[in-house]
Amino acid sequence: MTHTPPLEHHPRPDGLRLAYRHRRGSGPTMIFLPGYRSDMEGGKALALDAWAARSGRAMLRFDYGGHGASDGRFEDGTLASWRDDALLMIDAVTQGPILLVGSSMGGWLALLIALARPDRVVGLVGIAAAADFTQWGFTPAEKTRILEEGRLLQPSDYSEEPDLTTRAFWQSGQSLLLLEQEIAIDCPVRLLHGQADVVVPWSVALRIGEQLRSSDVQMLLVKDGDHRLSRESDLSLLVATLSTLLDSLS
């Protein structure tokens, strides 16, 4: 079962279509949650899908509205709307237990989804999870520009096009902050983070770990790892982490 699942679309209530690829298989369905401006065809998503194919495991990849092959404009999305896109796809396409794998912003969304679907989420893996980044990821001057001008453009490390942050996205993030109180998640959690990450400080992983209610939390720090954690060694660590976690759940 090594084929690439077909590209399919599922409509949102507003008619916008979300693109996804669903690999059927055994065990909890792995759900990959991409980062800000990323999509389901990124290196980590493809590496996990290839491993799922080899091991016969179920996996769902999809694009939030305004990302990748999905309909919509990126600038119309917010943290809440992309969380709701993920919940829609999970509820419409999958059944039974799920294991969330979130990269960067996707790690923040994974925590929000686990809070919204505690009866279905049996495990969570964060890769440079960027929880609360609207709070710590901008200077006071940048926050002022976002609020007064409605948008902030910044050079991107990963694209020729600048990164856009809208007022609506920033306000949505501020309404969904998690790190100032207990995070009421009880499933096993694994947090992978590069200590050379200049985008999301690895101290964020420690803060997430402190705030999680679950007693089964492990942090894996990669001393020379950057934000993407997409080197072969990083991908091998991710697969090994998932494999061990899934084995412990069976």
Tens digit of each residue's pLDDT, the chain (250 residues): 468 999 999 999 999 999 999 999 999 999 999 999 999 999 999 999 999 999 999 999 999 999 999 999 999 999 999 999 999 999 999 999 999 999 999 999 999 999 999 999 999 999 999 999 999 999 999 999 999 999 999 988 778 889 999 999 999 999 999 999 999 999 999 999 999 999 999 999 999 999 999 999 999 999 999 999 999 999 999 999 999 999 999 7
Please report, for residues 1, 18, 125, 176, 180, the alpha-carbon distance to residue 193 in angstroms, rounded to integers and kept in the order given: 31, 29, 11, 22, 20
What is the pLDDT, as a whole number, of residue 2?
Answer: 64
pTM (two decimals): 0.97
Task: Assign 237 to helix, strand or coil.
Answer: helix
Longest CA–CA separation in the chain, Å = 52
Q: CB of 64 within 8 A of CB of 77?
A: yes
User: Does the active-site annotation cover 10?
Assistant: no
The one catalytic residue in 22, 67, 193, 227 is 227
Q: For residues 52 and 145, give the distance between their C-alpha atoms in angstroms, rounded to a whole number.
A: 43
Q: Work out how many domains the chain is built from and give that number.
A: 1
User: Does the active-site annotation cover 104?
Assistant: yes
Q: Which residues pair with 222 in a beta bridge?
A: 194
Q: CB of 128 within 8 A of CB of 227?
A: yes
Q: CB of 162 within 8 A of CB of 154?
A: yes
Q: What is the CATH number of the domain that holds 207?
A: 3.40.50.1820
What is the pLDDT, as a whole number, of residue 157?
Answer: 79
User: Does the active-site annotation cover 163?
Assistant: no
Give the model confidence (pLDDT) of 111-157 as tens digits: 999 999 999 999 999 999 999 999 999 999 999 999 999 999 998 87
- The answer to whether position 37 is within a domain reads yes
What is the pLDDT, as a whole number, of residue 1?
Answer: 44
Q: For residues 138 and 144, give the distance between their C-alpha atoms in angstroms, rounded to a whole number.
A: 10
The one catalytic residue in 49, 104, 193, 234 is 104
End-to-end Cα separation, the chain, in angstroms: 21
Phi, psi of 38 (to 5 degrees): -95, 175
For residue 87, the surrounding DSSP H or E stretch is helix 79-93
- The answer to whether position 144 is within a domain reads no
- The answer to whether position 116 is within a domain reads yes
Domain that residue 18 falls in: 8-135+177-249
The one catalytic residue in 49, 85, 132, 197 is 197
Record the tokens describing residue 165, joined without a space. Answer: 């942050």
Picking from 249, 177, 172, 242, the residue whose alpha carbon sits closest to that of residue 211 is: 177
